[in-house]
Chains A and B, each alone.
Chain A
């Protein structure tokens, strides 16, 4: 083995640094799934009848569906009756200030390097911290309230803003959409709700940190973001999860609605527990994320950095309904050891002069498999549609795989669609060039990988870009880059 390869090997075998379990009493539902459990969850959350009914409809539909098998991932069959569908921290404090938050919880966030109070004071980011399934603390509420921005947990929104929930929940991802979206609709525990009124530019970046905690609890978040005419919001979602052996199912649904001239920027750093070196444990991350550009000139932009989960299976999508609307997708997906990722984006062009961009960077190491799967569809009346897709893969070992499966369906002659994909490895010549300038092989690889991902990192908000680089470094290199 050459010296370079050895360094790559060493670097790619660093352990997941952020695995620990927090001790908090949880209020749990028994294992299993039936109508009773659905009612139990709905009841626990004091939901109105129409919500319970909606959940039940979704559950009944889910029963009729079959688990999809088409993705390029392998995992043992999931026993949906062996999962606990609800678990909430017992004390749910109604807090005004950060001091009232459970100190145990605060410690957890500190370990993650994102102390809530620190963030509140220094970075000006409002944090809606979801700990397990129920949101515990929400900051900066007053500042947001002044502007008329609603940023709360989805359970609160169901209680306080039923008219908005009735209008928009399930309007982008209906409960019949797919197997995991139906499951989510039936049992979703909590999530975030954001409403930006007409003409408001959200004064700060909104952010949620998710953590999976109590053992055997599937997490089923549901996020709904609505941007009214001429509004703007940037939303950050980041996750880390404690180390643990059993696989955990995570099936979230995210819905975005952008009306005339509105813009939503949704950024994710995903670092769920990826399983150990032998592929044992790790999170199954089966997510449905979709944004609807309903209004004219609206824009939705997805940026994701995926380093965790034993299996990642998600395709953040944009439905470009409004004329001149824009959809963007920027992604870095890193897989190592036995991780599997099947991810990409769908851009559905319906309105006239719609534009979409897909930039996807896949890095695979160890024995992992990393697939890009995407769809660009231009409907018959989408005159002047424009798409550019670029999918690059980098391979860091001879036992991993990198795949590209783009689907391009064009039904309009004025469309202009381009797709390109490349696959390569870190070039020996590149490493040599940097070595020659006195840069160690470790730093050189780090530099090359970061350069490879730069187009995507540039799209992330500042705070996230730093964390993303850190994650990439840890996932691949063992030292902070």
Chain B
């Protein structure tokens, strides 16, 4: 089988490149992470990249990704990214702490994290690992286990990422904006950021992870994000992904929630030739709330795959999920959402909805919402719809003298508003809206 050959050659490429990568780690080798890194490369040697035979990858073929030989970011010379590039990519209109990562590596010159309140760490993974590893060791170790090749690849080749740690009772008023600028004009680069967010008891934080391209060359963003939300904490994580149309983008978000915590994940997906998100949350105590909001916009020949997993392990929790997609041209969407309610998780209240609009004859969606329930006193429901823009609504708008393209835009705006309106940072909404119409090449309203 062709894919078998690609898997083998991709594995060989990364396994062979590992020694050279390790030699340029700049002092990280002395940290506890080396052990995890070595385990991960061993693991990568043993397992294979997924194929369509794996149920979780049934609709997503990664062979176009495996055909490329991506070079770890620390082995290449970075083209200079200046502040104008940063300025054109960040979200504006509100105060924020800014961290800039170029191909996954922190750039302190472009960042601005001055005046952080006491008891809050916002820094790069590399800095924390070298100076205060004890802050992150417990969490990084707890999350590191994996049986997924892309995960192992991240652990083996990561050098940096975002670290946010809030101690008990700390509330960060301004959101954190992490800007990831990816791509390199000379090389096909592998960017492997590893993000860790630890919210202590009664703390609150809001983070915008913004993935953008600075090159038209193909590259691969392979991201792992880990979130630990302790008792009664509130964490909002906005992911806005606008990579280049030649980029490959894979992220796993692993969240562990403690009693009464509230976690909201916003996943807005614009760019990327092949995109895969795995968003997993374990609700491991009582009275937890989890919200997932997703929006995926496909155009040209994009392939966008979102996998979500809500693991209700304890009673009295609530989860809510709304994913909406618009697919144009010959783009392809995949949605796979699973709600698991374990035996003890009585009084669980879980809701999931996935709605997709197909704008063109060539577009395609495969959706698979799942419920797996082992407790009886629960309220769980899911819904999925696929369709086109409402003909009667369209006719109604047209009959009021509104031109065809504008009428369509009105319907698109109405459709996405369910998700866009949930963004708690008001200033983000209009900027996201603008990106939606830009990405779909439609008249903006």
- What residues of chain A have their CB less than 8 Å away from a CB belonging to chain B? 70, 380, 393, 395-425
Contact = CB atoms under 8 A, between A and B. Distances in A.
Interface string B374-393: 11111111111111100000
A393 B350 CA distance: 14
B141 interface: no
B388 A406 contact: no
A299 to B, nearest CB: 23
Given A408-B366, A410-B366, A421 B377 contact: no
A417 B370 CA distance: 16
Contact of B364 (A399, A410, A414, A416): A410
B358 interface: yes
5 contacts: A407-B366, A410-B365, A413-B363, A422-B379, A423-B378
Contacts of A419: 369, 382-385
Contacts of B358: 410, 412-413, 415
B345 to A, nearest CB: 10
Contact of B376 (A398, A408, A410, A415): A398
Nearest to B327: A413
Interface of B: 55, 343, 346, 356, 358-361, 363-388
Contacts of A405: 368, 370
A404 B360 contact: no
Nearest to B341: A423
A349 B372 CA distance: 27
A411 B387 CA distance: 11
Contacts, number: 110
Contacts of B343: 398-399
B387 A416 contact: yes
Contact of A417 (B55, B377, B385): B385
Contact of A418 (B359, B360, B385, B388): B385
Given A410-B358, A416-B387, A421 B382 contact: yes
Contacts of A424: 378-380
Contact of A411 (B364, B373, B377, B381): B364
Contact of A398 (B356, B371, B372, B375): B375
Nearest to B352: A421
B315 to A, nearest CB: 11
A421 B378 CA distance: 13
Contacts of A418: 383-385
A398 B361 CA distance: 46
B376 A414 contact: no
Residue among B343, B358, B372, B376 with most chain A CB within 10 A? B376
Nearest to A373: B370
Contacts of B373: 393, 395, 401-403, 423
Closest 5 CB pairs of A and B: A413-B358, A395-B376, A422-B381, A420-B383, A404-B371
Contact of A402 (B366, B371, B382): B371
Nearest to A372: B371
Nearest to A364: B376
A420 B382 contact: yes
Contacts of A416: 385-388
Contacts of B55: 70
A421 B385 CA distance: 12
B368 A413 contact: no
A420 B386 contact: no
Given A400-B376, A407-B366, A410-B358, A423 B381 contact: yes
Nearest to B388: A413
A388 to B, nearest CB: 10
Contacts of B369: 404, 406, 419, 421
A441 to B, nearest CB: 17
A420 B343 CA distance: 23
Nearest to A386: B387
Contact of B380 (A398, A415, A422): A422
Nearest to B357: A413
Contacts of B386: 408, 410, 415-417
A403 B368 contact: no
Given A403-B372, A423-B380, A413 B360 contact: yes
A360 to B, nearest CB: 12
Nearest to B353: A420
Given A400-B376, A419-B383, A408 B367 contact: yes
Given A401-B372, A401-B374, A413-B359, 10 more contacts: A400-B374, A402-B371, A407-B368, A410-B366, A410-B386, A412-B358, A413-B361, A419-B385, A422-B381, A424-B378
